[in-house]
Structure 1
């Protein structure tokens, strides 16, 4: 018996020994760290599900794409999945600590099938609470907020096809670079970087009124063909990275996308409650959102809603190429928000990636990536209103390339891939053939070739041919910022082989103040002009003006003009500017093509008749644009337009008889109102109201000649079925409205919606008239020759036309069908017309 007990003890001890000895083999922990990135762009992917299949063990990547996961179970693979991407799995080594990185390829996004079940969608009660708490959580509920912002922008060439590789410039680049693959990473596609920037700024916002100010403190810009200039520094800051999903509509690339938490959320989206878990310190609901109609400008992806106050905690959204937007393969937006001390939430980090498609197989695509990090947040401490007068200001010592500064002050360290980007860009931009292509591209875009301190051009006006001048040749130049930061000198010389006349222009402008943008200048020119085309609304359309120099100019009433002018202008306060201009000009018609004359005294038919005149005038202009944003580009200022408020302009002109041989004294009043309308689901509109009154007696070149259009091309600034000089007025009011419906109607037609056509509409109405005195000043004939005159509108009968059409045909063509509905009995009237235009729109 004793021997049995000893045997049992021995066997029990042996078993216990073997059990303890075996513990490390089956209970040893497997720890895996790594990062998940986009295989196309190399960008980190936040909020990706990383898990062991068949278990409840799983984590999500953080905002930088990193994860850490562990298990004690004897598993052999790790899986990752992410909406919009193909899932992946990799083998793991059991029982050790290891690093495994994943690169995910994008998948075609298909909308989920909607299954109707009894009862209410469990996501809907949560969404109703989100809407109910929007005001409390929206940052617009703060009286003010400010923070330090770090911004990083990178632009790469991707989808590098074999045809593109064989292009001459690419062959030169690829022979120099032997590190192309390293930018893509382990499993990704190769990309070719050509721009990267970093900036640190202080951003300030105040409500009531809603105004922003950004002080860009430091910038570092490295790019192929781009200098570290002030213009680039202004556009890489936080001001242009505004993504507030509490708004019903978000503007991205000039398109309005509906937010997943818009007031009409149920009309635009399907919602699927997937999970609930801690995100940081907040317990959150994870809800997947998909648009009800794939062509709508809406988002696919996931939103995380806090259970405590129903606020957005994280956003992972994408716009696929099925949306009605051109040239874009994909847009992704990742956002992480944090609660402020006052309650509303502010974005802490943003990451945006725009994948631009290649135009053809022989070209490549493009990736544009933005990253923003905000720290040192202060809320409800508004600055005085005058503090916000200049929306964007770049510090004089902002340019800094010292790596030590950026290593210390950037919010996040650069990855090895981003460090490689800097090295590759420096290499690429020093390749001779690249420098040549950059120079050609700059000439094509800007119209000028820089040669030291002057720019030669614009080349668009170099040559023309018409029935007045014959072959017309022109050469011009202007000084740039290397010549002076104060003076801008411009000039050109032109010559016509048929008329044998030299035409010329010379001007000098001086910048009095960049802070208020106060300038003054003088100009003198002698040039062939066309009376039918003198219209301020076309002043920025260089391509249109260039082509008006070609062909038969008879219908547009050509004349020679000699003009001397001087001006001074300044911004009185933000949005309010004043301009004072003096102008002296001579009007000399081309007699063989344009028969013009007027009575010296319109009340006396026996008074002398004149065929030309001289005028001197002073014009005072005041302009108010409440939320217009300007950027300074070297010695010029560029308007980015007004976001939501109308732009008002008022002008008064006084004719000075006797000054510099002026023949007339007169008064002219005019006012314009222009506003762009963002109408959400209904698309976008633009209206322009133009009114004027001339209470003086003057020949019709002083009146408002309403702009007609006898070309086959649609022009939004003209009356498209009105003939040249069909009407002129000394009192008038015009209303022009243009509307783009985006995909509102055509997206609902099954076959048409695949074409991504967009419906457009427009209407123009003109009330006007001419006093008897201004009609009587023009004789019927002079020296036996009939004199060209004009028609006046009836005071009680407006001119009107309306049109409709389709744009985005082959992503380039627009066709308009236009109806004229007034003055149909006039000679050569076109009651209906079809006009085309080319446009590049996303």
Structure 2
């Protein structure tokens, strides 16, 4: 597989360039007589395509003698061997040091003068993009294999394998997947926005927006972090790039009539993290990037090519074409990408097995973009610049006249058949409906006609209710796109009580996902638990922590509220509620000489999650977060409303949390969580803070073994601490999975948690015995997750001022389970 491939080319030759010792020469320059050029990949291979007949081509490489190869009519593959020469390119030596380093320093120094997003106040252009998943049929043998099985030297049966033959038949007629889009890019006030004018996806009437928003490669070649297939690498022209990369001057090449230095770069071997390698073509006059080839070679072979056009009026190189390609590398495990549109199978089950090549060995992803209608220093305002991507409401319904206007070339027969065949297959196999079903199941719903049944409500267990059996759901778009009804009913086998909820909502604005909601609930809840109204619904096949909880309060609540994303980069919930509360444990709240065993709370609440660094996409169905970046912040304020609807208490509560996550190129990940709360006024213990305990009050370690929580103290006993104000901090560092056996690949996670708290009015709370967190609580441990089939094991140790006298009481052993859905 090679860096570039032009499917529409009429003339094409392949080859490989080696030295005299038969060692491949990466990034050698291949030039035709009409000045078309390409370069060899890291294995010395090349493919050269042209719409005119190729009579000859020139192969050059720094330090080697240039060779001119004559093309024969019936020869498609050329093996070129270059002889080394003693003299180098003296004309490009700019100092006594490595000339490539001197050139790169000038590139870095002049970045702001050459980067369009720094030099220009504004610009706009349109882009046509086509992405295909396909294979080259000429690479596939296409034969029918047979094998015989014998028993006692007698032929038992014959196995026929025609998969290669069938795959070649399919790929000769069509691509495996295909999508097109036309976008308008606008830059102004240091922000870049993409507006998708038209989109077309084979097999789908409504496009899959997640694939459209998938970031294959950076738009700007000058970004400090260059992104390739949603992984960020230090850019070889970033301010600190020289510490990460080695550089080598390969050649001087003319690009668009201007002389350039051809510089090879590769991450330094001393750095363990994977890095980019490739070639930069640097303009010899202004030290701007005139062309760039960026590549990662690993379990997937990924390459991105940026081509530019020189604009004399603005004295800059502006993006012209980009190409992105993925082919299979060397991987032992199956890899699924683009929402499982494409799967690369593992190479072998063990080190001694040679696997027969399958379709995935020949399959590749190719995305090509062409820019046009470019305007510089425009005065056009950008509408809603906080949206990184906006998809027009009619983008998926464009006519063929629209596509013929913007396509660089008319679709060939193979691409036309791809739309026809995949559309018919999609209808026949109900692919869109099955995709919608899969999305709902992942979120915990099963659609039944106009209602989505809630899987979370079917069965659960806790120490107060026993087995909680129920049924719940919410209406879907088949019922109405603008109105919804939801509810549930549940029965506890231990407490013998029935609980239920009934609610409804009206859509006020589709683009901002604004809903006006109302509900009535009669249920129970864990005491002193913190719930952020804006937290996303998380579906778990099991939720281990509630199993161990025995202290609940019964509540009857009326609520009305507004749910919206109208503020850029936020999601907010505003709510008014009247709640009757009855603790289901021995508890009295004392206030001004009066004792309360039950009470009424009328409150107003505002909850907001703010993701200032994330990218958001505006689609015809609403606004969504396309790239989750950190840090992100959640704030929640609750205020009681005195003398309204029989409210008993006056108080305020402030809750917040900050999340941060950093992923490393070698597979490691660090995550931080800072969370806190402050309750002011007269607040009963049911609505204070317990700082997330998850340890049983049992005598031995073995008896205390349960499932671990996500962000809970595994060594803190239930109801051990209560606070009216607290601060919680957690740090986790996960290492890359270690392969022990084919199906045993555990991942080690180091965990440290700590919390501080205080109880301001302890005299108000009569009933449970508890301690405070004035001196802090500390625990550390390690998790060995996904040891086998998602199951893992963790161990935690409690230390510090609240350490217990008996050593074994400070230890907690927990079982973990991670369900990997490949998302």
* Uncovered stretches (5+) of structure 2, i.e. residues with no partner: 1-8, 16-25, 41-45, 62-68, 80-94, 147-160, 328-334, 336-343, 350-357, 696-704
Partner of 2:323: 351
* Separation of aligned partners in 2, 1:382 and 1:624: 30
Instruction: Report if the CA contact (8 A) 2:387-2:618 is conserved.
Output: no
* 2:168 corresponds to 1:181: yes
Residue 309 of structure 1 corresponds to: 286
Q: Deviation per CA, 1:721-750: give whole Å up to 9, x if none.
A: 43333322212333344456879xx99xxx
Q: 1:191 to 1:776 in 2, by over 3 A?
A: farther
Deviation string for 1:430-489 (max 9, x for gaps)? 44496896576455434334444x242233543334554454433333223343332232
Q: Is the 8 A contact 2:130 2:367 kept in 1?
A: yes
Q: Where does residue 204 of structure 1 map in the other structure?
A: 186
- Matching of residue 130 in structure 1 with residue 133 in structure 2: no
The total of aligned residue pairs comes to 720
Determine the structure 2 residue equivalent to 1:143: 121
| 1:662 correspondence with 2:674 | no
Equivalent in the alignment of 1:400: 397
CA distance in 2, matches of 1:513, 1:71: 59
Aligned to 1:214: 194
Other-structure match for 2:755: 766
Task: Map 1:139-538 to 2 at 5 A.
Answer: 139-141=116-118, 142-155=120-133, 180-181=167-168, 184=171, 193=176, 195-207=177-189, 210-223=190-203, 226-229=204-207, 232-233=208-209, 236=212, 242-252=218-228, 254-293=230-269, 295-321=272-298, 328-340=299-311, 341-355=313-327, 356=335, 357-358=344-345, 368-381=365-378, 383-384=380-381, 387-400=384-397, 402-432=399-429, 441-442=438-439, 444-452=441-449, 454-531=450-527, 534-536=530-532
Mapped partners of 2:540, 2:529: distance in 1: 10
Q: Determine whether 1:699 maps to 2:684.
A: yes
Following TM superposition, by how much is the alpha carbon of 1:677 offset from its aligned partner in structure 2, in angstroms? 5.8
Q: Distance in 1 between the 2:498 and 2:197 partners? A: 50
Report deviation, 1:571.
5.1
Give 1:791 deviation, angstroms: 1.9
Instruction: Give the drift of 1:838.
Output: 3.3
> Secondary structure of 1:489's match?
strand
- Which residue does 2:3 correspond to in 1? none
Deviates more, 1:436-445 or 1:576-585: 436-445
1:161 and 1:361 in contact (8 A); partners too = no
The answer to whether the 8 Å contact 2:589/2:765 transfers is yes
| Structure 1 Cα separation of the partners of residues 533 and 515 of structure 2 | 22
Q: 1:227 to 1:588 in 2, by over 3 A?
A: farther
Tell me the distance in 2 between the aligned counterparts of 1:386 and 1:276.
44
Distance in 1, matches of 2:106 and 2:748, equals 36
**Is the deviation greater in 242-251 or in 696-705?**
242-251
Q: Is the 8 A contact 2:179 2:199 kept in 1?
A: yes
Q: How far apart are the structure 2 equivalents of 1:661 and 1:37?
A: 83
Q: Would the aligned equivalents of 2:803 and 2:810 in 1 still touch at CA under 8 Å?
A: no
Deviation per residue, 1:107-161 (Å, 9 max, x gap): xxxxxxxxxxx97434222222222222222233133222112233345699999
For residues 563 and 369 of structure 1, the distance between their equivalents in structure 2, rounded to whole angstroms, comes to 55
Aligned mates of 2:314, 2:694 — CA distance in 1: 58
Q: How does 1:646-795 map to 2 (within 5 A)?
A: 646-657=631-642, 659-676=644-661, 685-710=670-695, 715-739=709-733, 763-771=752-760, 773=761, 775-779=762-766, 787-794=767-774
C-alpha displacement at 1:522, in angstroms?
Answer: 0.9
CA distance in 1, matches of 2:163, 2:575: 56
Q: Which residue of 621, 625, 645 maps to 1:639?
A: 625
TM-score, normalised via structure 2 length: 0.73
Q: Could you tell me how far apart the structure 2 residues matched to 1:548 and 1:413 are?
A: 57
Shift of 1:769: 0.5
Q: Does the residue aligned with 2:692 lie in a helix, a strand or coil?
A: coil
C-alpha distance in structure 1 between counterparts of 2:55 and 2:675, whole Å? 76
Equivalent residue of 1:309, what SS?
Answer: coil
Question: C-alpha deviations, 1:682-721, integer Å up to 9, x for none?
Answer: 9765544434322212221111221123376555533344
Aligned twin of 1:838:
818
For residues 80-104 of structure 1, give each alpha carbon's deviation from its aligned partner in whole angstroms, at most 9, with x where no partner exists.
999xxxxxxx99645xxx795999x
* Counterpart residue number, 2:777: 799
Counterpart of 1:705 in 2: which secondary structure? coil
- Distance in 1, Cα, partners of 2:641 & 2:790: 49
Determine if contact 1:234/1:392 at 8 Å carries over to the other structure: no
User: Separation in 2 of the partners of 1:403 and 1:102?
Assistant: 41
Structure-2 residue corresponding to 1:67: 50
**C-alpha distance 430-583 of structure 1, shift in aligned 2 (>3 A):** same
Q: Distance in 2 between matches of 1:418 and 1:47?
A: 31
3-state SS of paired residue (2:404):
helix
* 2:539 is aligned with 1:562: no
CA distance in 2, matches of 1:56, 1:762: 62
Secondary structure of the equivalent of 2:655?
strand
- How much is the aligned-residue C-alpha RMSD, in angstroms? 5.0
Could you tell me how far apart the structure 1 residues matched to 2:682 and 2:105 are? 66
Q: 1:36 deviation in Å?
A: 6.5
Report Cα offsets for 1:48-99 as digits up to 9, x if no partner: 96589xx9999438999623687879xxxx99999xxxxxxx99645xxx79
Structure 2 residue 801 is matched with structure 1 residue 823: yes
Q: Give the match's secondary structure for 2:765.
A: coil
CA shift, 1:347, in A, is 2.7
Task: State how far apart, in whole Å, the 1-side matches of 2:238 and 2:763 are.
Answer: 61
Q: Is the contact between residue 474 and residue 486 of structure 2 (CA under 8 Å) also seen in structure 1?
A: yes
Task: Name the SS for the 1:560 alignment partner.
Answer: strand
- Call closer, same or farther: CA 1:501–1:119 in 2, change over 3 Å: same
Shift of 1:802: 4.7
Assess, with a 3 A threshold, how the Cα gap between structure 1 residues 502 and 545 changes in structure 2: closer, same or farther: farther
- Residue 620 (str. 1) matches residue 614 (str. 2): no
Report the alpha carbon displacement of residue 178 of structure 1 after superposing the two structures with TM: 9.1
Instruction: Specify the SS of the correspondent of 2:442.
Output: helix
- The structural deviation recorded for 1:766 is 2.5
Provide the rounded CA distance (Å) in 1 between the counterparts of 2:406 and 2:225: 34
- Structure 1 spans left out of the alignment, 5+ residues: 1-31, 39-45, 83-89, 104-117, 167-173, 322-327, 780-786
Aligned-partner SS, 1:377: strand
Conserved 8 A contact 1:461-1:546: no
**Larger of the two Rg values belongs to structure:** 1
CA 1:665–1:239: 2 relative to 1, 3 Å: same
Name the SS of the counterpart of 2:536 in structure 1: coil
- Post-superposition offset of 1:581: 0.9
Cα distance, 1:473–1:131 mapped onto 2, change above 3 Å: same
**Number of the residue aligned with 1:587:** 581
Q: Using structure 1 for the length normalisation, give the TM-score.
A: 0.72
Deviation of 1:567 after TM superposition, in Å, equals: 0.8
Q: For 1:729, what is the secondary structure of its paired residue?
A: coil
Residues 514 and 562, structure 2, Cα contact 8 Å, conserved in 1: yes
Mapped to 2, the partners of 1:33 and 1:312 lie a distance apart of 30
Change (3 A) 1:468 1:688: closer
1:181 to partner: Cα distance: 1.9
Structure with the largest fraction of strand: 2
